Every structure is written in C-alpha cells, then in structure tokens.
Homo-oligomer: A and B are copies of this chain.
Amino acid sequence: MGVNKSDLEAFFNPGSIAIVGVPTGAYRFGGMSFLEKLLESNFSGNLYPINPKGGEIKGLRAYPDLSSLPEVPDLAIVAVAARLVPSILEECGRIGLTHIHILTSGFKETGTPEGKRLEEEIISISRKKGLKVIGPNCMGPYCPSSRVTAWGAIPGLDGPLGVISQSGGITQRLTEYTCSLGIGTGKAVSFGNGAVLNSSDYLEYMAKDKDIRVIAMYLESVQDGRRFFRLAREVARKKPIVLLKGGESEAGAATAASHTGAMSGENRVWEGLFRQTGIIRVRSLDEWVDTIAAAALLTPPKGNGVFLVGGGGGNSGAYTDICIREGLGVPQLSDSTMKELRKTVPAAGSIAGNPLDMFRVFQDSKYLAEILELGYKDPSISMVIVDRLIARKAFHLPDLPDSTPEVINFLKEMQNRKPTVFTVDSEGGDPELAGEGALMRRVFCEAGIPAFPSLNRAARALANLLRWSQQVGGMPGPDLDAHQ
C-alpha cells in the first residue's frame, strides 16, 4: 500500500508490520504477545517476526534482522532490551523504515544516567534519519478498523473516540469502560515517554480524522507547550478534547516522573491552558468516561436549565442542589407548562414542577414521553435528566416489565428533543441489581442516550459539555456546527 511517510497514517493503517524481538521460549509479555494479538485479530497485511535465530514462529517465517526482510515494512514494533534499541533504529534508518513503535521501557523514566543517555540517543538517531517514533515505554498504536490490535488488552470496538495517552494502563481502563457502554475507539495511541513524536503530533493527526468525534487525552506533561496550546485551541473548537492530567499535585507529579520521566509542569500553567483553549478538564476516570459519553452522544445544551424528572421527595431536593453546585440551573417551568402538568399530576404524593417527582414516570413510558415533550417545549429548559430507578426493584414490583425499550422508542421519535440523559443507580453490593443497572446503562447509551450511575455524575458530565460549548462558542472562528 502507498503509505504517506510524512504523516502518522502508517501507524494506524500499515500494510506490513515487523516485530523486532519475538522470543521463541516460554510466553512473556512483549514481542510474542503483540504478534499473537495481531494474528488473533486477522490483521490482513504481512507480519514479520524478527529473531536472530530465524526459523519459524507461529507459522510465520522469522527473519534474523530487519535488513533481511523481503520488503521494507510500513511499521516496526520494537520489543528488544533498551540497550539494543539504538542499533535497531540505525538499521531502520538504513533501510528506509520510518514508522517505529518502541514498546521497551528502561529509558528516561528510570531516572538513571544510562536510561537518560539511551533516550537521548533515540532522539538523536530519529532526528538524523527522519524517523517517526512512538514511545519508548508504551503500548503504541491501536486501530480496530484496520485490525492493528497488537495491544490486545483494549477492546476491538470501532467508534468515535480517539485516545492520546501517556499511559497504557489508563487507556485500557478508559476504553474498556467506554466500550462497555457501546462507545467504541477509532484510534488510540499510548506514547509513554514521547521522546520523538509528542502529544501535539497525535492531536494534529486525530483532529483531521473525520471518524473521530471526541478526543480523550491522558497527559503527564507537554513538550513544546506553545504548539500544543495553539493546536488545542483550534481543535477544541470543532471536537471536544477531554483531558485527564496526571501529576497535578506535587506527589502525583513525582509519580508521573517515575512513570514516563515527565516533568508535569505547574498547575497554574495547566489551569491557564484549560481556560484558554477550551479543553475540558476532568479529574477522574469516571468523570472522563461520563464526559466522553455526553460529548459523543449529545449536541451541547443551549443553556444551563435542567428539567429533573423522577427522583422522589428527598432525592429531588438533593438533586437540585447537586445541579446548582455544578453550575446548572433548575428553573421554574413556564406557566403554560405548569398548566399542562397540573392536568396529570395529583396533588399529593408527588411534586408538580421542576424537579418533577412522580412515581408514574417509572411505570408508564407514554406518560414519561408526555412529560418530556412538555420539558422540550419549555423555553427555560435546555436539557433533561431522568432519574431512572429500576422500578421493579425500587418499588418492589418484581413483575413490572422493563419499559426501557419503549422509552427509547418514544425518545427517538421526538424531533424537538433536547439533550436528555438518564441516571440508573445500581452501585451497591447487590449483584443482580448491579448487572441490571449496567445493562440498562448500556442499552440507553447504545441508543445514543447517555446514562450514568448517579445524578452527580450526570450533572458533572452535562456541565462539562455545556462549559465547553460556551467557551469555544465565544472564541473567534468556526462555530459548533462542525460538531455532529
């Protein structure tokens, strides 16, 4: 295939891959596991295991070195000991192999003079030879649509999410989590120490990818801050960038340093970055997933007014407080909405208004649909949160059928739908309830309706999406219509 060597496409869509360092002995994580995963996923290009002894590995001919290969592969995955990596890069340079992922660790992140020296050497060779290098000390590229799934631990579901991360482990947890909600990953890159290619390179690349609609980043540091700032500001206008920063506190920064050798920079510099670029900052895995789900599935709300539906007396009051703390509003409904509402809401045992506290919405999908229509028509309402108890559990009605499919159908029919999310609360120690709740969240998300395990999390995700759209909406340049 004709790979464009000037960009990163060969990492995610290579016609051929060499894996340098596939041992033939007992199974160990590394070259062999990467080869196995590529075989398992039916990668359709040529695969070349490299082992000094040659022979055959997993039914494939093994070559003693890159120079012996019958073609110059589009991508090399390097899994040899750290001290051997520079000579492999030299060899790549000689044969014109430009795209290299270095899995090996033992470089700058060790804090040793030897580790630092080896990393300097990688940088220097790459510059000299014009090599594009992911890593070292990372899991590399990942792309389900082209079966580049050497990094086998993350799910193979294609989708709108792009991931740019200095941590393989955290990318795994993120993508498994989003995948469980039906939100697949178009492309991911774990780039570890970022010695050669850095976060800006990946951001620039994913910004151009039309299939990627939300970009998740995990960064411990940024090289070339000025370029990153300019780029992020431009990209964030069109696609939400949701960033988890590692090493915010001093102690966290020390951990980051021993993880990828990064100096994570002062928090106030990062605060400025978030404020000025429109990157959405999140502070935990949960908030990351929730914000990604909201950004991937919703058009941003046009204002901050939430219609809270469901709840139950005490909950409604607490829910209102939570929304307010997140910067959302829980406005009074308009007179005409109230007039309509009062026709159906009994005086006792429920609260007509916003929040709307009504048992019936849990049982009667048609009624819930009517209530939602009222909310969509009300000018003070910009989004809706429905507290979706699992009714047959919460109200001890074991025979009540699950009305989720009906609710979803009603929602799909509504042309005037405003951003609407559900909360399905099932986080305790009841395995049956937890299983049902998880499934319900997935069914909603797969239908394009975000669902969260708690109101706190729903409110935070909506607030993050709203803030983003307000922030980038106020910036000069292309408007939000570019998104979705």
Interface residues of A (CB under 8 A from B): 105-106, 110, 152-153, 165-173, 176-182, 218, 220, 244-253, 255-256, 258-260, 283-286, 289, 311-318, 320-322, 324-325, 329-331, 347-349, 351, 353, 355, 357, 394-396, 425-439, 441-442, 445, 451, 453-456
Query: What's the nearest-Cβ distance from chain B to residue A175, in Å?
Result: 11
Known: A170-B318, A255-B320, A314-B167. A428 touches B152 (CB 8 A): no
The contact of A351 among B178, B255, B317, by CB within 8 Å, is: B255
Smallest CB gap from A329: residue in B: B251
The contact of A320 among B251, B286, B324, B353, by CB within 8 Å, is: B251
| Contact between A246 and B321, CB atoms less than 8 A apart | yes
Query: What's the nearest-Cβ distance from chain B to residue A243, in Å?
Result: 12
Residues of the B chain whose Cβ atoms lie less than 8 Å from the Cβ of A325: 248-249, 283
Q: For the complex, what is the distance from the CA of A181 to the CA of B456, rounded to whole Å? A: 21
Smallest CB gap from A110: residue in B: B347
Query: What's the nearest-Cβ distance from chain B to residue A321, in Å?
Result: 4
| Contact between B442 and A258, CB atoms less than 8 A apart | no
| Contact between B165 and A314, CB atoms less than 8 A apart | yes
Residues of the B chain whose Cβ atoms lie less than 8 Å from the Cβ of A438: 426-431, 433-435
Give 26 A-B contacts (CB < 8 Å), ordered by A residue: A167-B312, A169-B314, A169-B315, A173-B312, A173-B315, A178-B428, A180-B428, A180-B430, A180-B433, A181-B428, A220-B317, A244-B318, A246-B318, A251-B320, A251-B324, A252-B317, A259-B313, A259-B357, A283-B321, A283-B325, A284-B318, A285-B318, A429-B445, A431-B438, A431-B442, A432-B435
Residues of the B chain whose Cβ atoms lie less than 8 Å from the Cβ of A330: 251-252
The contact of A312 among B165, B169, B177, B178, by CB within 8 Å, is: B169
Of A324, A430, A436, the most chain B CB neighbours within 10 A belong to A430
Query: What's the nearest-Cβ distance from chain B to residue A136, in Å?
Result: 11
Residues of the B chain whose Cβ atoms lie less than 8 Å from the Cβ of A179: 428
| Contact between A182 and B252, CB atoms less than 8 A apart | no
Query: What's the nearest-Cβ distance from chain B to residue A39, in Å?
Result: 16
Residues of the B chain whose Cβ atoms lie less than 8 Å from the Cβ of A170: 312-315, 318
Of A168, A285, A316, A317, the most chain B CB neighbours within 10 A belong to A317
Residues of the B chain whose Cβ atoms lie less than 8 Å from the Cβ of A220: 314, 317
Known: A284-B455, A325-B283, A434-B437. A255 touches B169 (CB 8 A): no
| Contact between A252 and B320, CB atoms less than 8 A apart | yes
| Contact between B351 and A258, CB atoms less than 8 A apart | yes
Query: What's the nearest-Cβ distance from chain B to residue A393, in Å?
Result: 8
| Contact between A322 and B283, CB atoms less than 8 A apart | yes
